[in-house]
Amino acid sequence: MPQDDLLELAMKHNFWTWSMQQCPSVINVKKSQGVYFWDQDDKRYLDFNSMVMCVNIGHGNQHVKQAMIDQINELPFVGPHMVSKPKALLGEKLASITPPGLDHFLYTLGGSDANENAIKIARDYTGKVKILTRYRSYHGATMGAMALTGDRRRLHWEPAVMPGVVHFLDPFRYRSVFFKGRGLVPDSVYTQAYLDNLEEVIRFEGPQKIAAILLEPITGTNGIIIPPEGYMKGVREICDHHNILMIFDEVMTGFGRTGKMFASEHWGVKPDIFTMAKGLTSGYAPLGAVAMKRDIFDFFKDKTFFGGMTYTGHPVSCAAAIANIEVIQQEKLVENSATRGETLKQLLQEIKAKHPCVGDVRSIGLFGVIELVRDGLTREPFTEPDKPLKAIMARVKDEIIKHGVFLYNTFHMILIIPPLIITDDQLREGFAVIDRALDLADADIKQG
């Protein structure tokens, strides 16, 4: 079938996510390989977003594709209440790479339901209901996960979302509400202010009512916000003091993205529960998982867990995950993420030094962001999140796409989240395009 006909059919019958149906922004993808994909006109795109922040091992990996084909030929499906070889082997594989003691796993379909199931487990285990999450957070698009989300995306569904969720402030140094205009504040002072704020929220909400605190260890789509030194250990201590579970959402940060297998390793902090998806299979098949400590698992030995879905632990997805982890280990992609991450950090600093529109840049591993502002002193966002997207921001994104780089942007941020197989030259290739596009933003600011 001609590619034009495929596009017409897709537009006619498909309901598009996160889009107005009359004008979805879509690319008709024909093929993909490595860090690139091609559209119907054979135009090549450098994938600076790992498609949906998930293709950690790159596109078209033969080892993973063959593992999936072999599994389809051997056993394409069994129900979640049955044992399959890949499901058994994946548990063993995950237990070998997750933090010690977090070696029991509930499989899900993706990140959103992984987070919802983590909350169900926490509420069952503790007998408490309230969940604390941060305002600058995204935990998924299902109704429960949207309630957990702190950013504006949840507002559309309120008050119909899951009850019992309370949000608190995150330690975002560039936009700190506690230290505006006070210059550089030492990490110890800065960290303590946000830990004190969390303690205050817990006091008012009642620690005896709080089941868990759910955190992205490094904030993802809300701006790659890296916590200051001592913050995560401080949250761990607060949780222990109040008998509150600590849950990490590693859906975006897991499987090498930040230069460690899991982001929690950067601070030596072990959560009680953590969730994963995306990089678990690198997007080759839908799969998420909830990892939990042994005592939480043991709690359910004589108590029924009321949860699960038809495709939980799908054998083809589990086979893909095993092969994907093998690729990450054999090709040393965690190490490559850390090494290439230094190049990314340098390129971000060069962009910041050159362009007046760049207010801040942040990165860890291959997880980076360019934050655009209209005024470097006031830090006015390039486009306010609660207002329509300014035409100039759309022009910047269109210019980047036009020159063959695919990435994710928000109202005033450009995220850099490439596959972990990327080279220094490919990073520079992408940044050359971004550099030229930001000239448009600089010119717009100059014109007023």
Sheet holding 36-39, edge to edge: 29-33, 36-39, 44-47, 405-406
- Could you tell me the residue ranges of all domains in the chain? 3-57+332-447, 62-330
**Positive or negative, the Cα torsion across 90, 96, 100, 101?**
positive
Bridge partners of 104, per DSSP, are 292
**For residue 5, which phi and psi values (nearest 5 degrees)?**
-70, -40
Q: Given a cut of 90, is residue 19 above it in pLDDT?
A: no
**Average model confidence (pLDDT) for the chain?**
95
Q: Any idea what the Cα angle at residue 307 is, between residues 92 and 310, rounded to 5°?
A: 75
pLDDT of residue 346: 99
Contacts of 155 (CB under 8 A, 6+ apart): none
**Closest to 170 (Cα-Cα) out of 111, 246, 240, 224:** 224
Q: For the segment 63-101, what is each residue's pLDDT rounded down to a tens digit?
A: 999 999 999 999 999 999 999 999 999 999 999 999 999
pLDDT average, residue stretch 45-72: 99
pLDDT of residue 182: 61
d(CA 153, CA 122): 24
User: Which two tokens mark 183?
Assistant: 């210059």
pLDDT-based confidence at residue 27 (cuts at 50, 70, 90): very high
pLDDT average, residue stretch 399-403: 97
Classify residue 250 as exposed, middle or buried by CB count within 10 Å of its CB (0-12, 13-18, 19+): buried
pLDDT average, residue stretch 191-218: 98
Q: Which helix (H) or strand (E) holds 239?
A: helix 231-242
Q: For the segment 340-357, what is each residue's pLDDT rounded down to a tens digit?
A: 999 999 999 999 999 999
pLDDT of residue 2: 73
**Closest to 203 (Cα-Cα) out of 148, 132, 108:** 132
pLDDT average, residue stretch 12-24: 85
d(CA 380, CA 72): 53
pLDDT of residue 386: 67
E strands, 55-150, are 104-108, 130-134
Topology, domain 3-57+332-447: Aspartate Aminotransferase, domain 1 (3.90.1150)
Global pTM reads 0.96
pLDDT-based confidence at residue 22 (cuts at 50, 70, 90): confident
Q: Amino acid letter at 292?
A: M
User: Which two tokens mark 227?
Assistant: 């916590």
pLDDT-based confidence at residue 338 (cuts at 50, 70, 90): very high
Assigned CATH class of 62-330: alpha beta
Q: Which helix (H) or strand (E) holds 85?
A: helix 85-97
pLDDT of residue 384: 80
Instruction: Please state, for a pLDDT cut of 70, what percent of the chain lies above it.
Output: 98
Q: For the segment 163-191, what is each residue's pLDDT rounded down to a tens digit?
A: 999 999 999 999 998 887 666 888 899 99
pLDDT of residue 257: 99
d(CA 134, CA 259): 24
pLDDT of residue 8: 84
CB atoms within 10 A of CB 265: 15
pLDDT of residue 11: 86
Contacts of 150 (CB under 8 A, 6+ apart): 133, 134, 135, 136, 137, 138, 167, 170
d(CA 47, CA 58): 9
Cβ–Cβ under 8 Å, residues 154 and 133: no
**Closest to 420 (Cα-Cα) out of 19, 41, 37, 48:** 48
